[in-house]
Amino acid sequence: MHELSIADSIIKTVLHEIEVKQLPAVKRIVVRIGALSGVVPDALEFGFEALVIDTPLERSRLVIEYLPVRGKCRECGKDFEVENFLFACPHCASGAVDVTQGEELDIAYLDVEDESPPERHAPS
Amino acid sequence: MTGKITLEKKVLSENDRLAAEIRQVLNRNGVAALNLVSSPGSGKTSLLEKTIGALAGELRIGLIAGDVQTDNDAVRLVKAGARMVRPIVTGGACHLDARMVSRVLPELDLENMDLLFVENVGNLVCPSSYDLGEDMKVVVISTTEGDDKPLKYPAMFRRSSVMVINKIDLLGTSDFDMENVKANARSINAGLTIFDVSCRTGEGLESWFAWLRAFVAEKKQGMHGA
Ligand SMILES: Nc1nc2c(ncn2[C@@H]2O[C@H](COP(=O)(O)OP(=O)(O)OP(=O)(O)O)[C@@H](O)[C@H]2O)c(=O)[nH]1
Ligand SMILES: [Mg+2]
Ligand SMILES: [Zn+2]
């Protein structure tokens, strides 16, 4: 279960980003998780929810885009989805397959409140 | 209304950066580095004991042994005759990461080392995500596990370059099938180099040793060619 430390890295990265760019409240954190990344989405969500308590991200939602494995055949050059982790080309049966998608473990983007926090009315 | 802030950042970018640094240091010193991964108890430490016992006279071998709570494995490896062993007790973490390795690396005499083994924590999931700066991952599987293990942990078998099937002395005591396990592993990674060994009887270890010698020689050559 290293999802907890992955969640921790995500949170730290986003908090750093908020500070550096002076971002308003973050609504959604969109991450991309490939099927070959070794990360289990449910466990990651669980870890995220446990770790954001009492941080500025407490109200942010973690959105996981889960990407299936795709490969490209080195023999015939065709692209295809690798089903059930069977790394063989469905066109020519070659096992020489390069992974083109599925290794991702990326923070893609953040959705933030459009405006900086509403201006306070000066006490009259 | 919301605004979109593009990040496109690898979650493990800090780990990857440190791993790249480690790789550079190892390459500069011409040290061949292997990251050993397996389920708990498949025989990583046993394989290292046998390997050190056989090769310590001809290769200068260093070890980094990761363990969750104890330094037992490191102690076993020192007894086996390794000159330079550094334990990493992860304190509960289920994998080694590049930061842990880079912390102990300065304690190793890399200038006088040919081959560095990193024994990862026994776990086939988490260690697959963390590059440690090694040249290759070696996955150890034993005949007391299911022969469908590669299918259950595809990421690890995909990212490993070598598979050592250990405990072949116990073949026949379960329905573990050598042909099945190899076919399963190759369906995930056609390029795997596979060794069948028993750390108990010594069977099959010679070809593993021969492969290691060639691997180290190649690394040295690469360094001089560069
Ligand atoms: N029969 C048999 N037993 C073996 C063989 N290799 C290792 N063992 C036994 O398997 C057990 C586990 O071996 P280790 O070498 O400690 O395994 P490990 O992968 O280092 O274990 P962890 O570090 O705890 O994950 C020990 O009791 C070994 O004696 C083998 O080839 N045959
Ligand atoms: Mg061990
Ligand atoms: Zn093809």
Kindly give the distance from the C-alpha atom of residue A88 to the centroid of ligand 3, in angstroms, as a whole number.
Answer: 8
CA–CA gap between residue B153 and residue B202 (Å, rounded): 27
The CATH number that domain A3-15+24-69+101-112 falls under is: 3.30.2320.50
Could you tell me the fold of the domain covering B2-220?
Rossmann fold (3.40.50)
Q: How far is A29 from chain B (nearest CA, A)?
A: 10
CB of B123 within 6 A of ligand 1: the answer is no
CA–CA gap between residue B138 and residue B170 (Å, rounded): 21
This complex has an ipTM of 0.82
State both tokens at B38.
């397996």
B120-147 confidence digits (pLDDT tens): 999 999 999 999 999 999 999 999 999 9
A63-79 confidence digits (pLDDT tens): 999 999 999 999 999 99
**Quick one: closest CA in A to B190, which residue?**
A95
Q: What percentage of chain B has pLDDT greater than the value 90? A: 80
Sheet holding B115-119, edge to edge: B84-89, B61-67, B115-119, B32-38, B136-142, B162-166, B193-196
- Cβ pairs bridging A and B (under 8 Å): 101
List the shell of residues around ion ligand 2, using CB closer than 5 Å: B 44-45, 73
Q: Could you tell me the mean pLDDT of each successive run of 10 residues in chain B, 226 residues long?
A: 87 95 97 97 96 93 86 85 81 88 94 95 92 98 96 95 98 94 96 98 98 96 68
What is the pTM for the complete model shown? 0.91
CB–CB contact A106 B9 (8 Å): yes
Determine the pLDDT at residue A115.
65
Q: Could you tell me the mean pLDDT of each successive run of 10 residues in chain A, 124 residues long?
A: 90 95 96 94 95 96 97 97 94 95 96 71 56
Domain ranges of chain B: 2-220
